[in-house]
Amino acid sequence: MHLQKHTNIQFKQIKAAATYTVRHPVLRKGLSLSSCAFDRDEDNSTIHLGAYLENKAIGVLTLLTKNKDVQLRGMAVLENFQGKGIGKQLIVHAENLVQGQNICSLWMNARRIAVPFYERCGYRKKGDAFELPYGGTHFKMIKNLCD
């Protein structure tokens, strides 16, 4: 079955709390809403991106910046919208944003289940698997954005 790709998605920078409507059901299901608050969410250098369809948040991600080091964190797309290219569009939007700031690499701690998605987006595993309190087994993944 071919899933419809959404082309009328709006991408915008949002506040940390606006990510919770997507972070909670996807990344923190069954936990308290307060578990959606991440370290450094409120830092001035942190960027939160939202993918909106008809004014409803359907995808989010967070970019934590420290000098020229940028971590992608809290990437999530609502279950009903997964597999339709929205996550890829969010990643491309984030990559374009950091490249515009002369940043040449982006990294994340990816859940094992998400590794194939990130590999399709050009990210590569770096190092061995490790465990995190939320989401279990993770891999550090990185992508060079400058050649």
- Rounded to two decimals, the pTM is 0.89
Q: For the residues of the chain, what is the DSSP string, one character each?
A: -PPPPP---EEEEE-GGGGHHHHHHHHSTTS-GGGGPPTTTT-TT-EEEEEEETTEEEEEEEEEEETTEEEEEEEEE-GGGTTSSHHHHHHHHHHHHHHTTT--EEEEEEEGGGHHHHHHTT-EE-S--EEETTTEEEEEEEEE---
Domain limits of the chain?
10-105
- The tens-digit pLDDT sequence of the chain (147 residues) is 334 455 688 999 999 999 999 999 999 998 899 999 999 999 999 999 999 999 999 999 999 987 778 999 999 999 999 999 999 999 999 999 988 788 888 999 999 999 999 999 999 999 999 998 878 899 999 999 886
Classify domain 10-105 by CATH architecture: 3-Layer(aba) Sandwich (3.40)
